[in-house]
Amino acid sequence: MANQIKNAFIAAILTAFIVTPVFGLQLVRQGARTLMAPHWSNVLIAMAVVFVGQLLRPWLALPFKRMKGTLPTLPAAPVQGHKWMMIVLIVAAIVWPFFSDRGSVDIATLVLIYVMLGLGLNIVVGFAGLLDLGFVGFYAVGAYTYALLYHWGGWSFWEALPFSGAIAALFGFVLGFPVLRLRGDYLAIVTLGFGEIIRLLLINLNWLTGGPDGISGIPKPTVFGLEMARTASVEGQKTFHEFFGLTFQNQHVIVYLYLTALLLALITLFVATRLKRMPVGRAWEALREDEIACRSLGLNPTRIKLSAFTLGAMFAGFGGAFFAARQGLVNPESFTFIESALILAIVVLGGMGSQVGVILAAILLTVLPELAREFAEYRMLMFGLVMVLMMMWRPQGLLPMKRPHVELEK
Amino acid sequence: MSDVLLKVSDLCMRFGGLLAVDHVDFEVKSDEVFAIIGPNGAGKTTVFNCVGGFYDPTEGDIVMDGQRIKGLSSHMVARSGLVRTFQNVRLFKQLTVLENLLVAQHTQVETRLLPGLLKLKSYRQAEADALARAAQWLDFMGLRQYANREAGNLAYGHQRRLEIARCMITKPRLLMLDEPAAGLNPHEKQDLQRLIDRLRREFGVAVLLIEHDMSLIMGISDRILVMEHGKPIMTGTPQAVRSDERVIKAYLGEE
């Protein structure tokens, strides 16, 4: 008991140190001068809460311990593609926006962008086990590739899309080289730096990228060359609604964007699933498990790592191009570290390597903040809390990856 | 008289001031079992790491079937037909047993992206072949019932066998085993001895092994290299090694 009181006391003192600069000293403006006004009562309250909390911790922990045992467990992600279920889900996803309101479709489009990014990062982090904290860099490269191709060359979305993927893949490939020798924490730091370099370049290359203002007026995807706009940007061309004799509705544009995103996300899912089962996918996973054993079997780790970086970055590039088209403008503000963290959180929360899990996590982490708009200020706080709780209760993620089961013929 | 498969000449490996391997010479013929023995710290595993391309030797030369492999990176050494196991089993623990065997065939299957993404016929055929070979090796090792188990969950003896199968499926010409009997019970050691014998007879693979278990060594080796403090003491048949005074001195110490 004496020990507990001592611990609680130390915790309370530490709390005082941590809390004082944040709550205890508040800045007060008086004309041109800024004064610091101490609020000791806040600090005392915090200390008291921590002291009591620490004293009662053993009792507070009890219900959680019990809960841990009875917490419902989710089934592991199914391996065999339940074909019919997939088809039903896809059809539902296609039909749904026509009966939904604008806001929801908009959020769903955002979800699909994150699904694309999550699946892309899942290749690097989940399959190959290379912790990449600068993934947003490739997203930015994709977005700016389309933006610049439009700005300087007048390219349309569908023309620029393959290039966005290719240029992002090239950046992934180039980044791959210096980090080949790195693993774990070191790799994370270098990739983090890479993400920041891209963002700072975008801010500072004023002549090319428009600096902090970015590039605006980027057109939305066309429908086989027909613009989705109230009036055609080029004299004499027909827009989508004129061609089909409809009246212009903003809803059409939103739904079309959603369907485009759905198409891209489905392609990403399809390709990533195939890749996983292919020799290169197996090699990624083997590399994650044991690089030395890989080498001893004649697998070239350089090629395997580079292929993971390149392909992962490619999907980020596609996602970026779509993002640019949807927003209509790109600026460096959209590609901060927080985005990288969010995408990584999607992969970790979903269950590293599990594609269904990643999709589920992308939905959760995008929709929940939208639903809880009133708590926007606490968004990152809740985010952190969810991650901590997940690591305690389900470190393997929402829907952990299950190994494929293969029946051998006699 | 069979031809020389691996020729190691004048091999030296220096770590700073420590000469871990000091002018070691040996040859492995294409159908023999060659063992390296010696007290702990004699530099046996260092020799292995040099031969396998994990270390770059300070001096000396390593030639595999007429082709110089010294200085090649380890995956290129493996592709020249020289594959090894590890002292502490190094399986891909979270992959299934079957996947371990499929990964090992990476250099033999269709690894290009497009045929795989489109599931072309050449790709499907290569995958089916790989699966068939894996099944064959599972049968050979008696591991078929564990095919879909995670490799890390296998019993230790089974992990050892799987590691050897994973090497063999790459179709090596020289199999290097680093203490294959470590952690096995006497019964499993006998199995291992039979296994090595079968591998040599049925698949024509030469075996280079490091081992501490003398009964195993004496039972299966054609020739033995004895090392102490990085230096080679002698090379000879099991009978010659057993009766050599220098070897006895190295193991039991001088009076």
Assigned domain for A407 exists: no
**Cα B191 to the center of its chain, rounded Å:** 17
Domain range spanning residue B196?
4-81+172-252
Claim to verify: residue A179 and residue A39 sit in the same structural domain: no
Residue after which a domain boundary falls, among B157, B190, B205: B157
pLDDT band (50, 70, 90) for residue A68: low
**Set of chain A residues whose Cβ sits within 8 Å of the Cβ of B110:** 279
Number of domains in chain B: 2
Provide mean pLDDT across the span A310-334.
94
Claim to verify: residue A197 and residue A306 sit in the same structural domain: yes
Size of interface A-B (CB pairs under 8 A): 116
Look at residue A250 and give its three-state secondary structure. helix
Residues present in chain B in total? 255
Q: Is B93 on the interface with A (CB under 8 A)?
A: yes
Residue after which a domain boundary falls, among B157, B188, B206: B157
pLDDT band (50, 70, 90) for residue B177: very high
pTM: 0.84
Q: Is B78 on the interface with A (CB under 8 A)?
A: yes
**Set of chain B residues whose Cβ sits within 8 Å of the Cβ of A312:** none
Claim to verify: residue A21 and residue A157 sit in the same structural domain: no
Nearest beta carbon to residue A295 from set B75, B99, B144: B75
pLDDT per residue as tens digits for the range A14-23: 888 888 887 7
Claim to verify: residue B52 and residue B102 sit in the same structural domain: no
DSSP assignment of B131-183: HHHHHHHHHHHT-GGGTTSBGGGS-HHHHHHHHHHHHHTT--SEEEEESTTTT
Assigned domain for A72 exists: no
Claim to verify: residue A178 and residue A239 sit in the same structural domain: yes
Assigned domain for A70 exists: no
Claim to verify: residue A131 and residue A240 sit in the same structural domain: yes
Which chain A residue has its CA at the smallest distance from B89's CA?
A293
pLDDT band (50, 70, 90) for residue B1: very low
Assigned domain for A383 exists: yes
DSSP assignment of A1-67: -HHHHHHHHHHHHHHHHHHIIIIIEEEEEETTEEEEEE-HHHHHHHHHHHHHHHHTHHHHHHHHHHH
Claim to verify: residue A14 and residue A128 sit in the same structural domain: no
Assigned domain for A75 exists: no
**Set of chain B residues whose Cβ sits within 8 Å of the Cβ of A280:** 111, 113, 116
Assigned domain for A403 exists: no
CA distance, residue B90 to nearest chain A CA (Å): 6
Claim to verify: residue A51 and residue A88 sit in the same structural domain: no
Claim to verify: residue A170 and residue A241 sit in the same structural domain: yes
pLDDT of residue A38: 80
CA distance, residue B46 to nearest chain A CA (Å): 15
Residue B235 is inside which H or E element, if any?
Answer: strand B231-236
Across the interface, do A293 and B92 touch by the CB < 8 Å criterion? yes
pLDDT per residue as tens digits for the range B40-78: 888 899 999 999 999 999 999 999 988 999 989 999 999
What sign for the dihedral angle of Cα B208, B212, B215, B218? positive
Nearest beta carbon to residue B52 from set A296, A299, A301: A296
CA distances B7 to A1, B26, B66, B69, B238, Å, are 71, 6, 9, 10, 20
Which chain B residue has its CA at the smallest distance from A410's CA?
B135
Q: Phi-psi region for residue B187, left (φ > 0), alpha (ψ -120 to 50) or beta?
A: alpha
Assigned domain for A398 exists: no
**Across the strands, what pairs with B8?**
B26, B62
Claim to verify: residue A18 and residue A96 sit in the same structural domain: no
Claim to verify: residue B70 and residue B133 sit in the same structural domain: no
Q: Is B49 on the interface with A (CB under 8 A)?
A: no
Number of domains in chain A: 2
**Set of chain B residues whose Cβ sits within 8 Å of the Cβ of A299:** 75, 103, 106-107
- Is pLDDT at A109 greater than 70 in this prediction? yes
pLDDT per residue as tens digits for the range B79-107: 999 999 998 999 999 999 999 999 999 98
Across the interface, do B104 and A297 touch by the CB < 8 Å criterion? yes
Across the interface, do A282 and B99 touch by the CB < 8 Å criterion? yes
Q: Is B83 on the interface with A (CB under 8 A)?
A: yes
Q: Is B96 on the interface with A (CB under 8 A)?
A: yes
Q: Is B109 on the interface with A (CB under 8 A)?
A: yes
Across the interface, do A406 and B98 touch by the CB < 8 Å criterion? yes
Residue A363 is inside which H or E element, if any?
Answer: helix A355-371
Q: In chain B, which ranges are continuous DSSP H helix? A: 44-51, 74-79, 97-103, 113-117, 121-141, 156-168, 186-203, 214-220, 238-242, 245-252
Claim to verify: residue B202 and residue B99 sit in the same structural domain: no
pLDDT per residue as tens digits for the range A350-404: 888 889 999 999 998 888 888 777 777 777 777 788 778 887 877 788 888 778 8
Domain range spanning residue A88?
83-393
**Set of chain A residues whose Cβ sits within 8 Å of the Cβ of B78:** 295-298
* Complex prediction ipTM: 0.90
Claim to verify: residue A242 and residue A344 sit in the same structural domain: yes
Claim to verify: residue B43 and residue B68 sit in the same structural domain: yes
Assigned domain for A77 exists: no
Claim to verify: residue B14 and residue B131 sit in the same structural domain: no
Which chain A residue has its CA at the smallest distance from B116's CA?
A278
Residue after which a domain boundary falls, among B102, B134, B157: B157
